[in-house]
Chains A and B, each alone.
Chain A
């Protein structure tokens, strides 16, 4: 090299200095630690708990006791019937609706979509309460009506079929949203090719459309089963009065009996986690087989399949949509509103009895309303912060770095999808009840646990968001001289904003409506109670009007947050 270099036009780089990625490693370690604490640590304890007997030793005694108590009967069978029934009904309804909306000229598509999204964000216990009011075996409104006219009371919502019915009315929305999204990403030309080849519309749907979205249908069904196993509110409100127990309600009995049978609950939890894992594996196998058949479900050039004309079936399909919206959302909302405005119970209600007394009571007179509302918002806020931080970090590591172990991190964030909610709650109890850090019974633990439950969906959505940002947008920033952190702050995160906003909405709303976590982990004191728990408590004390009034308040908050965002939401729920 020559000695004297001619003066370049280049200005001396002012602030460019090599940056080591120490910061990155620290964030990685923190994320790993957070996940260990949130999702891994409790599950280890569930296993330990299920194996500990009451005098401090370890054995399989709990499993034997479970087996002796329930054997092949009762709870086990009920749980399967319940979960499969609900998932099957939800799948049939959801797929039918998805095909109608995505592939035909059915009217009222907006109504169908909108009610599905509302059904997805509104609490399942709301629907259950409404149906008790309408169709409980003795006092239900419709039953009384029939009684007066024809002298029979035909409906019994407090039964296995009632539980399945109400659960399906909530789960169908999940199936619909999943399958409709899949259908809209399938290029229309596949189906046009089949039409050109001479197949009639119905045959095209059967032989081309549905096979293309089979993976989405299978996974939606499987997750519906797992969600149903974790569902507590519906079996509690509809099943327990009729002494029909499923997994979640039986677990609740173990935990609330005196003395609590934590170890039996753990053994039961492990059993259902194992079953859920089997279901998850089946899904995985199906998806793998599909992929190895190398179906390239090409995300086409946005060409949508031409809408199949329904002709004379159009009114029938429209009726189906109206009925579904009525049964799943509009009806229950109106009934709960009616309940909240009535101070008299059931058949005695009348227009003359309408008043705001219930609202006045819960807001102005109930001593802990503001404290409990504050708890609810604090928990939701904490949860959102935890979930968005961890999910964004995990997505960043899997999508943007080659650090070793990043897929373990992703696994730790996602696997709780396969763990039924109440089993996970039992695990959390075991993990924290005697722990040296006094988190048990506090708001923080409730937020952490809800966060663990919301991490899978948030991680998936944010991860997909990263996937949609062209790498070169970030590389351009690095070339311009920005370090990793600055690139993240000025390019990646701003581009992710819609995705983060959608994730925020989902997580926040699920926190507001969640009943299981604060109910199981709150310990019954108003210090850690949330609105949903208070509603459940009012309901259990048959203070229907108060429960309904609180529900309306919670629902208003939910809709106020959700409606302005529903547009972004419907894309990446």
Chain B
């Protein structure tokens, strides 16, 4: 059972295809996240679903209603029965918190007692009771975020859209709100579609992730699946595998120039050239030139507290490594032996 279906959606701005033939569906209940670098078309898709932007072609179905079809918005924004959390919050400064939250209920013509009850319930749900009569100017960022959420869910919309919901919060609030969002989703069972450029946020929040680039969906799946098995090098890089080595086949084995042979477990491709990707945190460093590792030299070390980040030169390439800070910091210029945790190498065939 899917709540939203997007079929062959295209949105052009002039000659530029901000959304390039995208199809996907959003299952009932749960959080679906669009993850991708800034400018890849996430917001545009969200706004097309909302009806704030008119797509160029394709179909959008929400619930069982076709809302966009044949190049036209069949159902206008206000009749789509959605909720939306804007990146800029968009809390109306001339209304109290209660009036903000009550807005959608009033528009729908709920009776007055109903409105009061639902406003209270919504503010309770986002854990902001007692704020009803204040004006938004007096709120902190996290509280604003809660108000927007309350406003968007007060009238039980069919679907909640969230555009970079946590981007404006500072680090520790972000984590707290992430948990809150998930809790609210679980408590209400509401279907949510969110947009983010932050992989850890997407991983923590989502039941389904769509990784996007240049207006297309590269891969869609459960967070764990996407994290463990990125389908392409691009997805892998976006999910944190920022170390890239290119290897050639020499005598049947993949070899990285100036570094050495690639471990057996990664020999699975038949191609003559391959890109090998892995995450900085999957590197194991040993001082000196121990057996079995790639020889390297530390160019730059940066102590980050919980971990230490190293820039290491291996042959012609530079690798980034993040290792636990508990073992002390290796000196710049020191010789090290680099190995990668078993199973962490992601190998993709590369065209010659």
A477→B155 CA distance, assembly (Å): 13
Of A50-58, A231-239, A468-476, which binds chain B? A468-476
For A478-514 the 0/1 string (1 means CB < 8 A from B) is 1111110010001100110000000000000000000
A19→B76 CA distance, assembly (Å): 7
Chain B residues near A486 (CB-CB < 8 A): 107
Chain B residues near A483 (CB-CB < 8 A): 76, 78
Chain B residues near A491 (CB-CB < 8 A): 92
Chain B residues near A1 (CB-CB < 8 A): 1, 64
Whether the Cβ atoms of A481 and B110 lie closer than 8 Å is no
Given A10-B158, A472-B88, A494-B94, A478 contacting B108 (CB threshold 8 A): no
Whether B86 sits at the interface, judged by CB under 8 Å, is yes
Whether the Cβ atoms of A481 and B155 lie closer than 8 Å is yes
Whether B103 sits at the interface, judged by CB under 8 Å, is yes
Whether the Cβ atoms of B81 and A472 lie closer than 8 Å is no
Whether B292 sits at the interface, judged by CB under 8 Å, is no
Whether B325 sits at the interface, judged by CB under 8 Å, is no
Whether the Cβ atoms of B79 and A481 lie closer than 8 Å is yes
Whether the Cβ atoms of A470 and B84 lie closer than 8 Å is no
Given A13-B108, A481-B107, A495 contacting B84 (CB threshold 8 A): no
Main secondary structure of the interface of A (DSSP, over half): loop
Chain A residues near B155 (CB-CB < 8 A): 11, 480-481
A444→B86 CA distance, assembly (Å): 46
A472→B77 CA distance, assembly (Å): 13
Whether A16 sits at the interface, judged by CB under 8 Å, is yes
Whether the Cβ atoms of A477 and B84 lie closer than 8 Å is no
For A2-19 the 0/1 string (1 means CB < 8 A from B) is 100100111101111111
Given A16-B79, A18-B75, A481 contacting B84 (CB threshold 8 A): no
Closest to A495 in B: B94
Given A18-B79, A19-B78, A495-B94, A482 contacting B103 (CB threshold 8 A): yes
A495→B94 CA distance, assembly (Å): 7
Chain A residues near B87 (CB-CB < 8 A): 472
For B59-92 the 0/1 string (1 means CB < 8 A from A) is 0000010000000001111111111101110101
Given A13-B108, A15-B109, A481-B104, A472 contacting B90 (CB threshold 8 A): yes
Chain B residues near A9 (CB-CB < 8 A): 156, 188-190
Whether B50 sits at the interface, judged by CB under 8 Å, is yes
Whether B93 sits at the interface, judged by CB under 8 Å, is yes
Closest to B189 in A: A9
Nearest Cβ on chain A to B63's Cβ, whole angstroms: 9
Pick the residue among A2, A10, A480, A494 that contacts B104 (CB under 8 A): A480
Given A478-B78, A481-B104, A470 contacting B90 (CB threshold 8 A): yes
A315→B51 CA distance, assembly (Å): 62
Chain B residues near A13 (CB-CB < 8 A): 79, 81, 108
Given A14-B108, A495-B94, A478 contacting B156 (CB threshold 8 A): no
Whether the Cβ atoms of B64 and A479 lie closer than 8 Å is no
A478→B75 CA distance, assembly (Å): 12
Chain A residues near B79 (CB-CB < 8 A): 13, 16-19, 481
Whether the Cβ atoms of A475 and B81 lie closer than 8 Å is no
Whether B248 sits at the interface, judged by CB under 8 Å, is no
Whether B257 sits at the interface, judged by CB under 8 Å, is no
Whether the Cβ atoms of B92 and A18 lie closer than 8 Å is no
Whether B42 sits at the interface, judged by CB under 8 Å, is no
A17→B79 CA distance, assembly (Å): 6
Most chain A beta-carbon contacts within 10 A, residue among B1, B103, B157? B103
Whether the Cβ atoms of B92 and A473 lie closer than 8 Å is yes
Whether B52 sits at the interface, judged by CB under 8 Å, is yes
A17→B51 CA distance, assembly (Å): 14
Chain A residues near B189 (CB-CB < 8 A): 9
Given A473-B90, A479-B83, A15 contacting B158 (CB threshold 8 A): no
Whether the Cβ atoms of B103 and A14 lie closer than 8 Å is no
Given A9-B188, A14-B108, A16-B108, A476 contacting B86 (CB threshold 8 A): yes
Chain B residues near A495 (CB-CB < 8 A): 92-94
Whether the Cβ atoms of A11 and B103 lie closer than 8 Å is no
A376→B278 CA distance, assembly (Å): 80
Whether the Cβ atoms of B110 and A475 lie closer than 8 Å is no
Pick the residue among A11, A470, A475, A480 that contacts B52 (CB under 8 A): A475
A16→B105 CA distance, assembly (Å): 11
Interface residues of B in 11-42 (CB under 8 A from A): none
Whether the Cβ atoms of A472 and B156 lie closer than 8 Å is no
Closest to B73 in A: A18
Whether the Cβ atoms of A470 and B88 lie closer than 8 Å is yes
A475→B92 CA distance, assembly (Å): 11
Interface residues of A in 1-56 (CB under 8 A from B): 1-2, 5, 8-11, 13-19
Whether the Cβ atoms of A16 and B103 lie closer than 8 Å is no
Chain A residues near B1 (CB-CB < 8 A): 1-2, 5
Whether B273 sits at the interface, judged by CB under 8 Å, is no
Chain A residues near B104 (CB-CB < 8 A): 480-481
Whether the Cβ atoms of A10 and B77 lie closer than 8 Å is no
Closest to A483 in B: B78
Most chain A beta-carbon contacts within 10 A, residue among B79, B88, B94, B110? B79
Nearest Cβ on chain A to B340's Cβ, whole angstroms: 45
Closest to B75 in A: A18
Pick the residue among B64, B81, B93, B161 that contacts A481 (CB under 8 A): B81
Closest to B5 in A: A1
Whether the Cβ atoms of B90 and A11 lie closer than 8 Å is no
A11→B77 CA distance, assembly (Å): 18
Closest to B108 in A: A14
A495→B176 CA distance, assembly (Å): 32
Whether the Cβ atoms of A16 and B156 lie closer than 8 Å is no
A491→B151 CA distance, assembly (Å): 15
For B297-311 the 0/1 string (1 means CB < 8 A from A) is 000000000000000
A9→B109 CA distance, assembly (Å): 18
For B91-116 the 0/1 string (1 means CB < 8 A from A) is 01110000000011001111000000
Whether the Cβ atoms of A479 and B109 lie closer than 8 Å is no
A473→B151 CA distance, assembly (Å): 13
Given A475-B52, A480-B103, A480-B155, A14 contacting B109 (CB threshold 8 A): yes
Given A9-B156, A18-B79, A481-B78, A476 contacting B188 (CB threshold 8 A): no
Chain B residues near A482 (CB-CB < 8 A): 78, 103, 107
Whether the Cβ atoms of B110 and A14 lie closer than 8 Å is yes
Nearest Cβ on chain A to B116's Cβ, whole angstroms: 16
A532→B81 CA distance, assembly (Å): 56
Whether the Cβ atoms of A477 and B158 lie closer than 8 Å is no
Whether the Cβ atoms of B76 and A481 lie closer than 8 Å is no
Pick the residue among B76, B81, B103, B157 that contacts A477 (CB under 8 A): B103
Given A19-B78, A495-B94, A479 contacting B103 (CB threshold 8 A): no
Whether the Cβ atoms of B90 and A475 lie closer than 8 Å is yes
Closest to A20 in B: B76
Q: What are 29 A-B contacts with C-beta separation under 8 Å?
A: A1-B1, A5-B1, A9-B189, A9-B190, A11-B156, A13-B79, A14-B109, A16-B108, A17-B79, A18-B76, A18-B79, A473-B92, A476-B84, A476-B86, A476-B90, A476-B92, A478-B52, A478-B77, A479-B50, A479-B82, A479-B84, A479-B161, A480-B103, A480-B104, A480-B151, A481-B79, A482-B103, A495-B92, A495-B94
Q: 7 tightest CB-CB pairs across the interface, nearest first?
A: A480-B104, A472-B90, A476-B90, A478-B77, A481-B107, A472-B86, A479-B84
- Name B's A-contacting residues (CB within 8 A): 1, 50-52, 64, 74-84, 86-88, 90, 92-94, 103-104, 107-110, 151-152, 155-158, 161, 188-190
- Name A's B-contacting residues (CB within 8 A): 1-2, 5, 8-11, 13-19, 470, 472-473, 475-483, 486, 490-491, 494-495
